[in-house]
Amino acid sequence: MTNKTQNKTYLELKDHSVSGEHFQLLYNKELDMLETFPQPSEEKLGYYYQSEDYISHTDAKRNLFEKAYHFVKSLALKRKLRLINSFDVDKKTLLDIGCGTGDFLKIAKENQWEVTGIEPNEDARTIANKKTEDRVFDLDQLLKLKPHSFDVITLWHVLEHLPKLEDHIAIFESLLKPNGRLVIAVPNFKSYDALYYKNYWAAFDVPRHLWHFSKTAISKLVMLKNMKVIKTVPMIFDAFYVALLSEKYKNGSMNPVKAFWIGLRSNIKARRSREFSSLIYIIKKS
């Protein structure tokens, strides 16, 4: 995105979940965001997702952690549905980018939304299509969709994974109806838990997360494509989930008590600063 030689190193860290390789986070002063360096080629990127522990690509409930994840996920799905139901839209057409195993599309479809999903992972896409009557497609379908055809486009922890960041944001803008909403949920590297765990913060998740956003960064990026952030919504549960994984990376075990304390402290501090562990950005065309 930018000239890497002009960006300062913010942190050096490793891929804790798949490869063990080391990466840098470079600070982009212009956008107030971090960029993973070096970034894998698009051909090699899939290698870094080849793990049974990549939980968004499976419905597995093999252990207590995965069961807890899916319980919290069920609560989050209801909150997401309430959010999109609150929008004043035309025909309730929804596009979910990076829809994983399709649970959000399923609950939206059951609530009279006309759904379409994009999911590049074949296994996850197969599971999602069983839940949505084959309404989930591979990434190449994105460029074949009709312009101005969606009331709502959602990306739940997906934007940070997309290699061609500005190009994708432009595509999303083109697919939205004039009064449509773009909903983006991403981690916030300025949260208390990010500052506490530093290079062990699980939400950095290099190199799968190519970009690491601040509120300023999201506002500037969408403004470049004639859109505007109109509201932010905190994702309260994320601080606890991320703290659990961060404890594992830092100390070798999840330490639920310590993780709960850090997650709670992060949420309490964010009540004043609004720097929550993850934020949902509600965006419309300018």
Domain layout of the chain by residue ranges: 4-285
What was the pLDDT predicted at 58?
53
What was the pLDDT predicted at 3?
56
Residue 69, pLDDT > 80, answer no
Q: Label residue 180 by pLDDT band (50, 70, 90).
A: very high
Q: Label residue 127 by pLDDT band (50, 70, 90).
A: very high
Range from 46-55, 177-186, 207-216 carrying the lowest mean pLDDT: 46-55
**Mean of all residue pLDDT scores within the chain:** 91
If one compares 260 and 285, the residue with the highest pLDDT of the two is 260
**Tokens 């025909």 label which residue?**
91
In contact, 128 and 101? CB cutoff 8 Å: yes
Q: Label residue 277 by pLDDT band (50, 70, 90).
A: very high
What was the pLDDT predicted at 54?
52
What was the pLDDT predicted at 76?
86
What was the pLDDT predicted at 236?
93
What CATH number matches the domain at 4-285, 3.40.50.720, 3.40.50.150, 3.40.50.10420, 3.40.50.300?
3.40.50.150
If one compares 226 and 66, the residue with the highest pLDDT of the two is 226
If one compares 88 and 279, the residue with the highest pLDDT of the two is 279
pLDDT (average), residues 23-51? 93
What was the pLDDT predicted at 61?
55
What was the pLDDT predicted at 67?
60
Whole-model pTM? 0.92
What was the pLDDT predicted at 234?
97
